[in-house]
Chains A and B, each alone.
Chain A
Amino acid sequence: MAYLLQQLLSRSAAKYPDKDAVIYQDASITYSELEKVTNQLAHLLIAYGVKRGDRVGIYLHKSIFSIISVFAILKAGAVYVPIDPRAPARRSAYIIRNCGIKCLITAYEKINVLQEVFREEWPLELIILTDDRFVEEHNPFLQTQWISWQMVITSNQASLPEIERIDTDLAYILYTSGSTGDPKGVMISHLNAMTFVNWAYDCFHIVREDRLSNHAPLHFDLSIFDIFVGVKAGASIVLVPEGISTFPIKLAEFIEENRISVWYSVPSVLSMLVLHGNLQKYRFSNLRLILFAGDVFPVKYLKELMRAIPQAEYYNLYGPTETNVCTFYHVRELAPERMEPVLIGKACTNTEVFAVNEKDEIVTQPGEAGELYVRGSSVAQGYWGDPEKTRLLFLPNRFQPHYEEKIYKTGDLITLDDKGNYLYIGRKDHMIKSRGYRIELGEIETVLYSHSKVKEAAVIAIPDDLIGNRIKAFVVPCEADSLTKMELERYCLEHIPRYMLPSIIEFRDFLTKTSTGKIDRKLLASER
């Protein structure tokens, strides 16, 4: 029985050695090649000092190298930490410091960025470069060891490294927006991921003939499905190049030409496809399954998509990164007049979800609202290096007093329908979704406040059909007219990723307070 993620690869490599495992643009790699090169890299990592449980960063744009890195790190008994290559350097540096990354897999072009942010103290001891640049010449850091890709592929140690690991060991850490201004690292064990992977594999009958798209970047948890369910099935994983998803027509062409059979992405990508993809040109005859998660899919676009691609099955998947996926709903025909969003459905196999109302009772009646809790082996181990925050959200199960176990408090409000399906209503706090990204409005406010010319700031979300939410910031400068919108935008971009940047910044002389002295965000939101 496979109980570690990397075992899924070794098994498929034994069964389907010559099948394409990963395809990216004109390049591809077979299962046996992927098994071999990941063994080679894993051996080198171990030889150069990577120990069981060490965090190894992947700081790369999406390519076959990033998939190789994932499996090699796991095979070395370490924990992989994907770092968004497009995020501001300071945020990447925070992640590297926060979880103590000493070894990084990256490309030559990123070295300058790293040098810039780590001028004071250089934390990296080992760097693996995926491009064949000569590293010695450019090595200003005597204490850093370098591995070139040439060394990886010419290594004669190509057998599976013998590393003992168990399924409660960590497999990866994914960083998401944190309300205090710094991202927080969600720790996922092999068991957490495998619980989801096994369920998805069975539920969607993924087979080796399937061709799965991989749209989500590695630091986004949707990628877990594409990579590990795909590899478990011995299917081919086709990486969607970043440039292509910018152009809906190209994306439609990509799905058709690559004979994609399973698509998984955030709804906004599919909405763009419906609006500008010229879908009537294609039949997408291989496309049998369309999965979406990360946000509410506007029903009008979902209905259009279902009309344009009628043969596919549609599923809405729900689950914060802390729980992988915990509920799902099979979307069947939607009535033309239907306006309310699709349900998030019922719990996945081997996972329990329940909602708790304001009286702290479990919701059982249709129409009743409550906050959703998740229980089961797909629930994460908590936040890296933050036991306090972990204790706040990963709670002892107070509904079961006989032995200790944890439940995760999602912060999501739901109601129940008469068939036992859940419907998502909204958040209990200031977290929002925009383009499927999870954003803590507090994190943006913290960044605004840290600017020396900002006296007060409040950030609100404006619901938007296409992207979920637009972000609007109200800013009171210390001195009137001392600050420009562009100055503030540039400052924000040094600290937060592009998708978190407020699309509207409005300067005010003052912000109205509530009776408790807090900025009245409800009033600001109602002004529009």
Chain B
Amino acid sequence: MNTEEKLKKYIMAELMFEQDEASSSLLYDEPLLERGIIDSLGFIQLTVFIEEEFNIKIKDEELIPENFKTINIIAHLIKNKQLALSSHV
């Protein structure tokens, strides 16, 4: 699974309580905040998942709505952080 797919699976299972991936129409550019899919309860849960799953640390400055608008945008944030991490090594 790539980053986008992992995020979609997690969001659908843990934040939307969808059992069957195929039955739902969550899009990669679905506005997650506007549609209330990520709310203040789910947000903390999601950030903990991202940090553990992708082995990155999200800075406080990055915890802003601009970075969590859609699955594509969250994936972009994750990939950038992974890239930055690997270029430091």
Interface residues of A (CB under 8 A from B): 86, 242-243, 245-250, 272, 276-278, 435, 466, 484, 486-487, 489-490, 493, 498-499
Given contacts A486-B13, A489-B17, contact A249 B41 (CB under 8 A): no
Which residues of B have CB within 8 Å of A278?
Answer: 60-61
Determine the distance from Cα of A366 to Cα of B33 in the docked complex, in whole angstroms.
Answer: 50
B27 → A minimal CB distance (Å): 20
Q: In the complex, are the beta carbons of A246 and B19 less than 8 A apart? A: no
Q: In the complex, are the beta carbons of A498 and B41 less than 8 A apart? A: yes
Which residues of A have CB within 8 Å of B40?
Answer: 242, 245-246
Determine the distance from Cα of A85 to Cα of B27 in the docked complex, in whole angstroms.
Answer: 25
Determine the distance from Cα of A120 to Cα of B18 in the docked complex, in whole angstroms.
Answer: 28
Interface of A is mostly: helix
B43 contacts partner chain A, Cβ-Cβ < 8 Å: yes
For B16-43 the 0/1 string (1 means CB < 8 A from A) is: 0111000000000000010010111101
In the complex, which of the residues A248, A486, A498 contacts B63, with contact meaning CB atoms closer than 8 Å?
A248
B6 → A minimal CB distance (Å): 17
In the complex, which of the residues A86, A248, A272 contacts B36, with contact meaning CB atoms closer than 8 Å?
A86
A213 → B minimal CB distance (Å): 15
- CB<8 Å pairs between A and B, sample of 28: A86-B36, A242-B40, A245-B40, A246-B33, A246-B38, A246-B39, A246-B40, A246-B43, A246-B65, A247-B64, A247-B65, A248-B60, A248-B63, A249-B60, A249-B64, A250-B64, A250-B65, A276-B60, A277-B60, A278-B60, A278-B61, A466-B44, A484-B19, A486-B17, A486-B18, A489-B17, A490-B19, A498-B39
Q: In the complex, are the beta carbons of A490 and B17 less than 8 A apart? A: yes
B19 → A minimal CB distance (Å): 5
The 6 closest A-B pairs by CB, nearest first: A246-B40, A486-B19, A276-B60, A490-B17, A278-B60, A489-B17
Interface residues of B (CB under 8 A from A): 13, 17-19, 33, 36, 38-41, 43-44, 60-61, 63-65
In the complex, which of the residues A245, A249, A487 contacts B61, with contact meaning CB atoms closer than 8 Å?
A249
Nearest to A492 among chain B residues (CB) is B17
Determine the distance from Cα of A215 to Cα of B64 in the docked complex, in whole angstroms.
Answer: 19
Determine the distance from Cα of A276 to Cα of B62 in the docked complex, in whole angstroms.
Answer: 10
Nearest to A499 among chain B residues (CB) is B41
Determine the distance from Cα of A245 to Cα of B65 in the docked complex, in whole angstroms.
Answer: 11
B77 → A minimal CB distance (Å): 14
In the complex, which of the residues B17, B33, B43 contacts A493, with contact meaning CB atoms closer than 8 Å?
B17
Determine the distance from Cα of A59 to Cα of B64 in the docked complex, in whole angstroms.
Answer: 29
Which residues of A have CB within 8 Å of B33?
Answer: 243, 246
Which residues of A have CB within 8 Å of B17?
Answer: 486, 489-490, 493
Which residues of A have CB within 8 Å of B64?
Answer: 247, 249-250
Nearest to B65 among chain A residues (CB) is A247
Determine the distance from Cα of A32 to Cα of B63 in the docked complex, in whole angstroms.
Answer: 39
B43 → A minimal CB distance (Å): 5
Q: In the complex, are the beta carbons of A247 and B63 less than 8 A apart? A: yes
Which residues of B have CB within 8 Å of A86?
Answer: 36, 39
Which residues of A have CB within 8 Å of B36?
Answer: 86
Determine the distance from Cα of A487 to Cα of B43 in the docked complex, in whole angstroms.
Answer: 22
Determine the distance from Cα of A86 to Cα of B39 in the docked complex, in whole angstroms.
Answer: 11
Q: In the complex, are the beta carbons of A249 and B39 less than 8 A apart? A: no
Which residues of A have CB within 8 Å of B44?
Answer: 272, 466
In the complex, which of the residues A277, A487, A493, A499 contacts B19, with contact meaning CB atoms closer than 8 Å?
A487
Determine the distance from Cα of A360 to Cα of B5 in the docked complex, in whole angstroms.
Answer: 61
Which residues of B have CB within 8 Å of A435?
Answer: 41
Nearest to A243 among chain B residues (CB) is B33
Determine the distance from Cα of A165 to Cα of B49 in the docked complex, in whole angstroms.
Answer: 54
A242 → B minimal CB distance (Å): 8
Nearest to B41 among chain A residues (CB) is A498
A146 → B minimal CB distance (Å): 26
Which residues of A have CB within 8 Å of B60?
Answer: 248-249, 276-278
Q: In the complex, are the beta carbons of A276 and B63 less than 8 A apart? A: yes
Nearest to B12 among chain A residues (CB) is A486
Nearest to B36 among chain A residues (CB) is A86
Determine the distance from Cα of A261 to Cα of B63 in the docked complex, in whole angstroms.
Answer: 25
Given contacts A435-B41, A487-B19, A489-B17, contact A243 B65 (CB under 8 A): yes
Given A247-B64, A248-B60, A490-B19, list of 14 further CB < 8 A pairs? A243-B33, A243-B65, A246-B33, A246-B39, A249-B63, A272-B44, A276-B60, A277-B60, A278-B61, A466-B44, A486-B17, A489-B17, A498-B39, A499-B41
Which residues of B have CB within 8 Å of A486?
Answer: 13, 17-19
Which residues of B have CB within 8 Å of A498?
Answer: 39, 41
Determine the distance from Cα of A249 to Cα of B59 in the docked complex, in whole angstroms.
Answer: 11
Determine the distance from Cα of A250 to Cα of B64 in the docked complex, in whole angstroms.
Answer: 7
